[in-house]
């Protein structure tokens, strides 16, 4: 196990170095992190073998990192700040999320009707497609210090987008389970997936918020925040490991809820001190999370990508971009949000792979359908993620939210 840890450390270091090299050609460092994860993962050079990815210690560490980068999102969920978005944020989230579900489901319905594949599988692809992976966009926000209406809209939207994604996907999964086996897949899993992480995070965030309000000094602030993240993650891990069966609570949502709770307890100036102290940890958490995102992806699937992969990538991009545009237009949001928010919502693969694993378990009695879903999403994950990282960076750039010195370095 010690050897595996050394290998993992070497991969993370390599990702950091390649990320720095990538920035020299004016691309985001995350692209380098993702590429290193893919090519040093189990499907390529194997410096991070599958045994490492499956090890409990590794999973716990990555779960902690997911909880940690959720803190960045949670600190944006200050009630006074959210009130300025109000209905516009909710409506735009719904139009881009549900719009993606409709566009992808419709596109695959047409293709499957022609191909003779059961049409209900189209809604599986729609359910997988609507969620957004927050880590790539967050890493770009942090690396380029983006600032403006697109950034301000994106950060809270990724949280709401996850909630909508969970509701729609698990509703589709339940319906498919009933259709395939006549089973009684319970819709109760949906509120459990949403509210349990929020309860876990808030239960830790409120007392730690009052503690953070009283203590001072950068080192003490960081120690208390790290303790809070650890308590939150540990509570979630205990629930996932011993109390829940067939359901895995989202560690990022726990981190979001934890941070949102303390962010609404401490004064604004104190919140800035907390986020500044936590910033180095956040940078490491994002790096580890992106490497972990890339490691399971098999680059060889690019060669086998076919019509279904093309339909998935294009229809999802159309749904995200025009769904965000229509919602922003209806709610009269700033012009940069209307034009460029959709580009920042394209990263996807971490969420898609989790949802794919769940739906394939549901479809386990129909191996031909499992093969269609796995092959399509796996190839799309590799291709889309590389394109999406570049597109997200361009979205911030076109919106004028990357400081000039960052675009010219």
Q: Is residue 11 part of a domain?
A: no
Q: Is residue 302 part of a domain?
A: no
pLDDT tens per residue, range 310-361: 999 999 999 999 999 999 999 999 999 999 999 999 887 666 777 887 788 7
Instruction: Tell which residue, 17, 18, 28, 14, has the closest CA to residue 409.
Output: 28
pLDDT tens per residue, range 259-277: 999 999 999 899 999 999 9
Rounded to whole angstroms, the Cα distance separating 21 from 27 reads 9
First-residue to last-residue Cα distance in the chain = 41
CA atoms within 13 A on the CB side of 21: 10
- Token pair 């050897």 in the structure block, residue: 3
Rounded to whole angstroms, the Cα distance separating 361 from 192 reads 19
pLDDT of residue 304: 61
Mapped onto helix, strand or coil, the DSSP state of residue 128 is helix
Greater pLDDT, 323 or 162: 323
Rounded to whole angstroms, the Cα distance separating 92 from 97 reads 8
Question: How many domains are there within the chain?
Answer: 1
Instruction: Tell which residue, 239, 261, 236, 241, has the closest CA to residue 251.
Output: 236
Rounded to 5 degrees, φ, ψ at 399 are -75, -5
Instruction: Tell which residue, 371, 387, 378, 370, has the closest CA to residue 350.
Output: 378
The pTM is what?
A: 0.75
Query: Confidence band (pLDDT; 50, 70, 90) for 207?
Result: very high
**Surface-to-core class of residue 20, CB atoms within 10 Å of its CB (0-12 exposed, 13-18 middle, 19+ buried):** exposed
Strands, E assignment, 295-394: none
Q: Is residue 15 part of a domain?
A: no
Rg (the chain; Cα; Å): 20
Q: Is residue 398 part of a domain?
A: no
Angle between helices 307-330 and 87-115 (to 10 degrees): 150
Rounded to whole angstroms, the Cα distance separating 187 from 173 reads 9
Q: Is residue 201 part of a domain?
A: yes
The CATH number of residue 240's host domain is: 1.20.1530.20
pLDDT tens per residue, range 94-150: 999 999 999 999 999 999 999 999 999 999 999 999 888 777 877 888 888 899 999
Q: What is the mean pLDDT of residues 287-301?
A: 81
Residues 6+ apart with CB under 8 A from 25: none
Mapped onto helix, strand or coil, the DSSP state of residue 239 is helix
How many Å separate Cα 193 from the centre of its chain?
15
Rounded to whole angstroms, the Cα distance separating 378 from 356 reads 9
Q: Is residue 404 part of a domain?
A: no
Q: Is residue 6 part of a domain?
A: no
Q: The domain containing residue 195 runs over which residues?
A: 60-132+141-285+307-376
Q: Are 46 and 295 in contact (CB under 8 A)?
A: no
- Element of type H or E holding 365: none
Q: Is residue 232 part of a domain?
A: yes
Residues 6+ apart with CB under 8 A from 404: none
- Mean of per-residue pLDDT scores for the chain: 86
């Amino acid at each position: 196990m010690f050897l595996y840890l050394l290998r993992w450390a070497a991969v993370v270091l390599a990702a950091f170095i390649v990320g720095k090299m990538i920035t020299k050609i004016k691309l985001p460092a995350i692209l380098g992190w993702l590429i290193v994860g893919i090519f040093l993962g189990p499907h390529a050079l194997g410096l991070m073998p599958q045994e490492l990815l499956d090890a409990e210690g590794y999973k716990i560490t990555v779960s902690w990192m997911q909880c940690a980068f959720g803190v960045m999102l949670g600190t944006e969920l200050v009630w006074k700040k959210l009130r300025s978005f109000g209905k516009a944020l909710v409506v735009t989230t719904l139009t881009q999320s549900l719009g993606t579900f409709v566009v992808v489901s419709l596109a695959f319905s047409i293709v499957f009707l022609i191909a003779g594949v059961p049409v209900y599988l189209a809604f599986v692809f729609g359910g997988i497609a609507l969620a957004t992976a927050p880590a790539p966009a967050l890493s770009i926000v942090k690396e380029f210090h983006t600032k403006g209406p697109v950034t301000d809209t994106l950060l809270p939207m990724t949280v709401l987008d996850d909630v909508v994604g969970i509701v729609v996907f698990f509703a589709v999964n339940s319906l498919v389970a009933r259709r395939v086996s006549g089973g009684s897949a319970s819709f109760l899993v949906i509120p459990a997936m949403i509210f349990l992480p929020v309860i876990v995070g808030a239960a830790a965030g409120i007392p730690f918020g009052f503690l953070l309000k009283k203590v001072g000094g950068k080192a003490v602030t960081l120690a208390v925040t790290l303790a809070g993240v650890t308590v939150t993650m540990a509570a979630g891990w205990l629930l996932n490991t011993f109390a829940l069966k067939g359901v895995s609570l989202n560690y990022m949502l726990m981190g979001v809820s934890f941070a949102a709770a303390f962010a609404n307890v401490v004064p604004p100036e104190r919140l800035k001190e907390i986020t500044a102290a936590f910033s180095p940890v956040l940078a490491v958490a994002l790096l580890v999370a992106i490497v972990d995102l890339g490691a399971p992806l098999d680059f060889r699937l690019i060669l086998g990508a076919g019509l279904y992969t093309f339909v998935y990538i294009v229809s999802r991009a159309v749904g995200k971009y025009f769904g965000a545009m229509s919602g922003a237009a209806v709610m009269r949001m700033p012009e940069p949000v209307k034009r460029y928010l959709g580009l920042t919502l394209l990263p996807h693969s971490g969420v898609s792979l989790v949802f794919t694993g769940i739906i394939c378990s549901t479809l386990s009695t129909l191996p031909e359908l499992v093969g269609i879903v796995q092959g399509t999403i796996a190839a799309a994950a590799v291709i889309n993620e590389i394109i999406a990282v570049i597109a997200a960076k361009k979205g911030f750039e076109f919106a004028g939210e990357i400081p000039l010195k960052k675009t010219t370095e």
